[in-house]
Chain A
Amino acid sequence: NAGVTQTPKFQVLKTGQSMTLQCAQDMNHEYMSWYRQDPGMGLRLIHYSVGAGITDQGEVPNGYNVSRSTTEDFPLRLLSAAPSQTSVYFCASSYLQSSYEQYFGPGTRLTVT
């Protein structure tokens, strides 16, 4: 079991560029989510999904898109990167009936210049 994997680990973008952060899990979890972590602000939910084909917005969704075509994958897209999106991004997954017990990936550190 690889658990939750995220790629890349580090990324530097210029303002206005687009990119996709990849997230995959091999635990057959229904629930997947994306958080951003910023100093002094804890983790804030960006988007989440309760199953393939179903996504919803979290606390800070602006500037980010998601889709869930398979149970395993939940990519996060930045369409036009801004310096305010400089952050560490974590993907997490869980069984829907125990969505509190989320398994986290190792994170992607993104810098937008």
Chain B
Amino acid sequence: AQSVTQPDIHITVSEGASLELRCNYSYGATPYLFWYVQSPGQGLQLLLKYFSGDTLVQGIKGFEAEFKRSQSSFNLRKPSVHWSDAAEYFCASNFGNEKLTFGTGTRLTIIP
């Protein structure tokens, strides 16, 4: 079955430290992949997207993600987090149709 998995429910990092959030997908082909961010009490905002081509994609707010076909992964990274990055992050895919399938989300806490 097609699915998106985010294995980490909650991650805590210190301000200024690097960040990596994990995302794996299950699909017979290469899907379109996305990362969304949800700030507290807000809707979701698209951070970045991967369709094809260069496997390292840049997004807004200094985030990047790398697609690895061999690992069925699309991990989100940031070299140095800021307190304002505290939020919930969702990986998503549309598996060849117009509907988005979301992972269960990873909540990011930043400690001073």
Give chain A's interface residues, CB within 8 Å of chain B.
4, 31, 33, 35, 40-45, 48, 50, 58, 90, 92, 96, 99-107
B48 to chain A, nearest CB (A): 11
Give chain B's interface residues, CB within 8 Å of chain A.
6, 9, 32, 34, 41-46, 49, 90, 92, 94, 98-105
Asked if A96 and B43 make an inter-chain contact with CB atoms under 8 angstroms apart, the answer reads no
Asked if B90 and A42 make an inter-chain contact with CB atoms under 8 angstroms apart, the answer reads yes
Once A101-B49, A104-B43, A104-B44 are accepted as A-B contacts, the answer to whether A96 and B103 lie under 8 Å apart by CB is no
- CB neighbours of A35 from chain B (8 A): 102
Asked if A99 and B98 make an inter-chain contact with CB atoms under 8 angstroms apart, the answer reads yes
Asked if B42 and A106 make an inter-chain contact with CB atoms under 8 angstroms apart, the answer reads yes
- 22 A–B contact pairs at CB < 8 A? A33-B99, A33-B100, A35-B102, A40-B104, A42-B90, A42-B102, A42-B103, A43-B102, A45-B101, A50-B98, A58-B99, A90-B44, A92-B43, A100-B46, A100-B100, A102-B46, A103-B43, A104-B44, A105-B43, A106-B41, A106-B42, A106-B43
Asked if A42 and B99 make an inter-chain contact with CB atoms under 8 angstroms apart, the answer reads no
B35 to chain A, nearest CB (A): 11
A35 to B103, CA, bound (A): 13
B90 to chain A, nearest CB (A): 6
- CB neighbours of B99 from chain A (8 A): 33, 45, 48, 58, 99
Contact of B98 among A31, A106, A107 (CB under 8 A): A31
- CB neighbours of B46 from chain A (8 A): 100-102
Asked if A42 and B100 make an inter-chain contact with CB atoms under 8 angstroms apart, the answer reads no
Contact of A43 among B41, B45, B90 (CB under 8 A): B90
Once A42-B90, A104-B44, A107-B43 are accepted as A-B contacts, the answer to whether A99 and B103 lie under 8 Å apart by CB is no
